[in-house]
Structure 1
């Protein structure tokens, strides 16, 4: 099998596992069994393809692929993801499975894109470029999700004001209810949080591979992690009795300011981020 096609297949596995993680986090935050089933199906699919690759390497090289550090990472990730499937399917232990899948995903990324340090020429540049594209894509999707929460928070505040002043007109009849607007605020950040988390993991891996003397305290990295903490705080506070209605909506508005700070100010002082 062509080396480039092997790498392409491994990248597909990374994407499938990353998407399964997103569904698992949504299930963890919202307790949605449908999301859990989709995440498990994707995980099993990615792990099965990974198993076939291990068998191919075993048959092709006539040895078990575990003799180098890079191969060790791959085998270790395969074991961790296998344990995750067992925990999910057999023992129904969701939280330990989520932790194992996160750890397995990290080592799978290290193996797949870390090859860019050891391979040369077009393959190395290809790997680094693909990792950057995936990182940026997940980051943009997270920003879109947070933008949706901002729009619905503004809509909630407008609707609340119109209802309070009894200025409801026929033009507002097609707008969502307050409950629907509040639900969309929550659902959008539930999607955005895992997307941003995966993007940060991939971005750190890209920086480590592509940049000599990579600065872990770069302004963009710091503000991105702060943004993740802010939205985690928003999600946690939604369960408190005092954080309801307009208070909850205003928290979403203020949280979106951190998105703008991260997007513009964080990039302005960054050593390597262009956006």
Structure 2
């Protein structure tokens, strides 16, 4: 059972990691990121195929599958289809969203099955899913915070250069071009992390069998955060908008992040920092 738990964890984490690299390629053509993402996705496919092969061997003579195995097979089909699309049609945006859905299905499947035991006896299986969800969300907010600081630095440096007011502190700053590139990279890191966090959060809500939690103020505001940074990437990538206008939009997007943090303590019914224990 412990071996299976490690097997499941490896599939989930590698699957999520592959999507991060895929998103990097989708946001801005990055051949290296695409190759790594595709390689990880193939490895996930191999792990799933090996598990399915083992399951078929166990089912010899009785072709009856459990819900867990059926959903696992569904996830495998989604990955297989996405790899075919990536290989022959090269529609990477479709590949990303198909696999984002596939990861949510796989996470829901793993963490809702009582037979998929965690490595620690005292650790509730739902707690592991919630832990991953929170970790991804924290990582995304950290990346957005970095992008916020960089945008503030960009606007400060841009204004000083425009006024031709050179100061000693400016010597320690990178160029406007580098600051803008670092800001973009931070958003590219934060956005897929938040996407994954929301996907796993939805899976956790479904496991808890309380769909009304999807209407929680924190959930709605998290979607607004995702839309704000998604529009940032759209402006940068498709509209070729850059400079102060894009930096100001990034600062405005971070205001929504701050509101998201405040709402988690004031209005959210289940997202708050006063919880005495996860899953209690």
Q: 1:250 aligns with which of 230, 248, 262?
A: 248
| Residues 18 and 259 (structure 1), Cα distance of their counterparts in 2 relative to 1, 3 Å cut | same
Structure 1 unmatched ranges of 5 or more: none
Aligned Cα root-mean-square deviation (Å)? 2.5
The range that moved more, 100-109 or 59-68, is 59-68
Structure 1 residue 58, shift from structure 2 partner = 2.5
1-structure distance, mates of 2:190, 2:46: 28
- C-alpha contact (below 8 Å) 2:130/2:201 kept by paired residues: yes
Q: Which structure ranks higher in relative contact order (CA pairs < 8 Å, sequence separation ≥ 6)?
A: 2
User: Which whole-Å deviations, capped at 9, do the CAs of 1:62-110 have from their partners, x for residues lacking one?
Assistant: 3677622221100111111112222223443423323332232232122
| 1:24-63 equivalences in 2 (<5 Å) | 24-62=22-60
Distance 1:106 1:183, change over 3 A: same
Q: In 2, Cα distance between the equivalents of 1:207 and 1:96?
A: 25
C-alpha spacing 1:99/1:164, structure 2 compared with 1 (3 Å): closer
CA distance in 1, matches of 2:18, 2:54: 24
Distance 1:95 1:215 in 2: 29
- TM normalised by structure 2 equals 0.87
- 2:192 — aligned with what? 194
Equivalent of 1:147 in 135, 145, 148: 145
* Structure 2 spans left out of the alignment, 5+ residues: 274-280
Q: Are the counterparts in 1 of residues 5 and 117 from structure 2 also a CA contact under 8 Å? A: no
Count residues with an aligned counterpart: 271
Shift of 1:123: 7.0
Q: Residues 143 and 64 (structure 1 numbering): CA distance in 2 closer, same or farther, change over 3 Å? A: farther
CA contact (8 A) 2:205 2:211 kept: no
Q: 1:174 to 1:64 in 2, by over 3 A?
A: farther
Q: Which stretch of structure 1 is more off in the superposition, 204-213 or 70-79?
A: 204-213
Kindly tell me: are residues 185 and 115 of structure 1, through their superposed partners in 2, closer, same or farther at Cα, counting changes over 3 Å?
same
Instruction: Write out the 4+ residue segments of structure 1 that deviate beyond 6 Å after TM superposition.
Output: 118-124
Matched residues in 2 for 1:133 and 1:42: separation?
A: 23
Structure 1 residues 133, 51: CA separation in 2 closer, same or farther (over 3 Å shift)? same
